[in-house]
Structure 1
Amino acid sequence: MSKNKTQLNLLNKTLNIARNSKFYKSKLQGFPLELKNILELQNFPFTTKKELRDCYPFGALAVPINDVVELHTSSGTTGKAALSFLTKEDLKNSSKAIAKAWKCFGITKSSRVQFMMSYGLFSGATLNTYAIQELGGFVVPAGIQSAEKQIQMMLDFKIDTIVGTVGYYFYLFDYIKEKQIPLEQFSLKCGIMAGEIYSDKVRSEIERKFKIKIFDHYGLCEVNTGIAYECEFRTGLHFLDNYVLPEIIDPENGKVLPVDNEGELVLTTLKKNALPLIRYRTGDITSIKSGRCPCGRSSIRINRIKRRVDDIIFIKGIKIDPYELKEYLLEIAGDNIFSDIKIRVGNSFENYSPEILVSLKNPSSTNLLSVIQKTLKEKTLLTFDVKHISRDYFQRGENNKVKFVEYVDKK
Structure 2
Amino acid sequence: MISALESVTSEITGFETPIGEKEMSEWQLSQIRAAMERAASHSEAYARRFAGIDIASIDSPAALERIPFTYPQEIIDGADALICVPRRDISRVTSLPTSGSTGAPKRIYFTEKDLARTERLFELGMAPIIGRRGRRCVVMMSDAAPGSMASLLKSGVEKSGVPAAIYGGIRDFDDAARFLRDGDVIVGLPSQMIHLCRKHPTLRPESVLLSADYVPAPVPGALRKTWKCRVYTHYGMTESCFGCAVQCSEESAQHIRHDSLLIEIIDPETGRALPPGKEGEIVVTTFANEAMPLFRYRTGDVSSLVSGKCECGSALPRLGAVRGRLKNLIKAAGGSFSIESIDDVLYRNNELWRYDASLREDARGKILSITAYGGNRLKIDDIYNALSTILPREIAAEVAITDKPCRGGGKRRIIDRIEEAG
Asked if the contact 1:352/1:410 (under 8 Å) is kept, the reply is no
Q: Deviations over 1:80-108 (max 9, x none)?
A: 22222111111112222343321232457
Cα offset for 1:297?
1.7
1:98-134 CA-partner distances (Å, limit 9, x unpaired):
4332123245763411111132689543443343234
Aligned 1:316-395 pairs, distance under 5 A: 347-349=345-347, 350-356=352-358, 391-395=362-366
1:154 corresponds, among 148, 166, 180, to 180
Secondary structure of the corresponding residue to residue 205 of structure 1: helix
Q: Distance in 1 between matches of 2:109 and 2:160?
A: 24
* Alignment partner of 1:11 is 2:14: no
Change in Cα spacing, 1:284 to 1:13, as seen in structure 2 (3 Å) is same
| 1:128 equivalent in structure 2 | 153
Deviations 1:203-228 (A, max 9, x none): 11121111101101001111232310
Among residues 74, 85, 88, which one is paired with 2:109 in the alignment? 85
Which runs of 5 or more residues in structure 1 are unaligned?
Answer: 314-341, 360-390
Tell me, yes or no, if the aligned pair for 1:86 and 1:272 is still in contact at 8 Å.
Answer: yes
Q: Secondary structure at the match of 2:239?
A: coil
Q: Which residue of 2 aligns with 1:239?
A: 256
Does residue 117 in structure 1 map to residue 117 in structure 2? no
Q: Are residues 91 and 118 of structure 1, via their aligned partners in 2, closer, same or farther at CA, if it must alter by over 3 Å?
A: closer
Work out the CA distance in 2 between the residues paired with 1:108 and 1:10: 36
2:306 aligns to what SS in structure 1? coil
1:377 corresponds to: none
1:103 equivalent in alignment to 2:101: no
Classify the secondary structure of the residue corresponding to 1:96.
helix
2:70 aligned residue: 47
| 1:76 corresponds to | 98
* Contact map agreement 2:158 2:164 (CA 8 A) in 1: yes
**Code of the aligned partner of 2:162:** G
The 1:199/1:135 distance shift into structure 2, 3 A limit, reads same
Kept in 1, the 8 Å contact 2:44–2:81? The answer is yes
- The 2-side partners of 1:215 and 1:134 are apart by 21
1:256-335 counterparts in 2 under 5 A? 256-311=273-328
Per-residue CA deviation, residues 172-202 of structure 1 (Å, 9 max, x unaligned), is 123325xxxx44xx4x210011233234433
| Residues 1:33 and 1:211: Cα distance change in structure 2 (over 3 Å) | same
**CA shift at 1:18, angstroms?**
2.0
Whole-angstrom CA distance in 1 between matches of 2:395 and 2:85: 42
In the alignment, the residues of structure 2 paired with residue 355 and residue 403 of structure 1 have an alpha-carbon distance, to the nearest angstrom, of 17
Q: What secondary structure is seen at the aligned counterpart in 2 of 1:251?
A: coil
Contact 2:366 2:396 in 1 (8 A): no
- 1:65 maps to which residue? 87
Question: 1:64 is aligned with what amino acid?
Answer: P
What CA distance in whole angstroms lies between the structure 2 residues aligned with 1:73 and 1:32? 33
Size of the aligned set, in residue pairs, is 337
Please state if 1:210 is matched with 2:227: yes
Q: Is the 8 A contact 1:98 1:227 kept in 2?
A: no
Alpha-carbon distance in structure 2 between the residues aligned to 1:309 and 1:292: 29
Whole-angstrom CA distance in 1 between matches of 2:29 and 2:360 = 53
Unpaired segments ≥5 residues, structure 2: 1-14, 16-22, 331-338, 368-391, 403-422
Deviation at 1:164, TM superposition (A): 1.2
State the distance in 1 between where 2:398 and 2:232 align.
25
1: CA distance, partners of 2:136 / 2:159: 13
RMSD of aligned C-alpha atoms?
Answer: 3.2
Task: Check the 8 A contact 2:360/2:366 in 1, yes or no.
Answer: no
Stretch of structure 1 that moved more, 297-306 or 130-139: 130-139
Query: Is residue 144 of structure 1 aligned with residue 169 of structure 2?
Result: yes
1:284 CA drift (Å): 1.1
SS across alignment from 2:134: coil
Q: Higher mean Cα deviation, 9-18 or 223-232?
A: 9-18
Instruction: Please state how far the C-alpha of 1:34 moved relative to its aligned partner.
Output: 3.2
**Structure-2 separation of matches of 1:403 and 1:90:** 48
- Alpha-carbon deviations, 1:354-409, whole Å to 9, x = none? 244668xxxxxxxxxxxxxxxxxxxxxxxxxxxxxxx334359xxxx997897989
Structure-2 separation of matches of 1:241 and 1:42: 19
Aligned residue identity for 1:91: L
Q: Secondary structure at the match of 1:59?
A: helix
Match of 1:37 in 2: 59
Contact kept in structure 1, 2:194 and 2:219, CA below 8 Å = no
Whether the aligned pair in 1 keeps the contact of 2:195 and 2:354 (CA below 8 Å) is no
**The 10-residue stretch of structure 1 (227-236 or 250-259) with the greater mean CA deviation from structure 2:** 227-236
Amino acid paired to 1:352: R
Residues 1:174 and 2:222 are matched in the alignment: no
Contact 2:144 2:168 (8 Å CA) reproduced: no
Equivalent residues of 2:265, 2:283 under 8 A apart = yes
Which residue of 1 is the match for residue 238 of structure 2? 221
CA distance in 2, matches of 1:46, 1:123: 27
Contact 1:345 1:407 in 2 (8 A): no
Does the 8 A contact of 1:74 with 1:222 survive in 2?
no
For 1:253, which of 258, 270, 292 is the aligned residue?
270
Given that 1:230 and 1:238 are in contact with CA atoms closer than 8 Å, whether structure 2 keeps it comes out as yes
CA distance in 2: counterparts of 1:403 and 1:23, whole angstroms: 46
Letter in 2 for 1:392: A
Q: Secondary structure at the match of 2:92?
A: strand
Q: Deviations over 1:127-155 (max 9, x none)?
A: 43343234333211000352233222212
